[in-house]
Amino acid sequence: LLIVYPQAQRYFRDFGPTPGSSDLKTHGAKIMNALKSAANHLNDPAGNLSALTDQGANQIRMDPGTYGMLSRVILEVLDSHFPGDFTPKVQVAWEKFLALAAPVFT
């Protein structure tokens, strides 16, 4: 996210800009675990993402548009790490899921 969209760095000043940063890895894992929880509870994505939403809105004061950038980066990472498995159908499913999760963040 910080490499593709450097303007997002302002929300993560304490993390440092290096891709190998342990703080960035920890935060990325937190986001992906929250999305995993939301995927496991599709009947209540808002409830499962509320802690992450509160952090983004209240602690970091993140612009809601940043979540769109994050969604695009997640799709790019999935495509680059799982090229054989990230078929057009899988991509559409991920896009729908991330679209379901996005309003929770904004």
> pTM for this structure?
0.69
Helix (H) or strand (E) holding 97: helix 88-105
**According to the model, what pLDDT value does residue 100 have?**
80
Question: Does the pLDDT of residue 106 top 60, yes or no?
Answer: no
Whether residue 50 lies inside any domain: the answer is yes
Q: Is pLDDT larger for residue 4 or for residue 28?
A: 28
Amino acid at 26: T
pLDDT 10s digits, 35-93: 888 888 888 766 766 655 554 444 445 566 677 878 888 899 899 999 999 999 999 99
Residues belonging to the chain? 106
Whether residue 31 lies inside any domain: the answer is yes
pLDDT 10s digits, 23-45: 778 877 887 887 888 888 888 76
Domain that includes residue 14, residue range: 6-105
CATH assignment at residue 68: 1.10.490.10
For the chain, the domain total comes to 1
Whether residue 1 lies inside any domain: the answer is no
User: Could you tell me the CA-to-CA distances from 14 to 19, 41, 44, 87, 101 in Å, in that order?
Assistant: 13, 32, 32, 36, 26
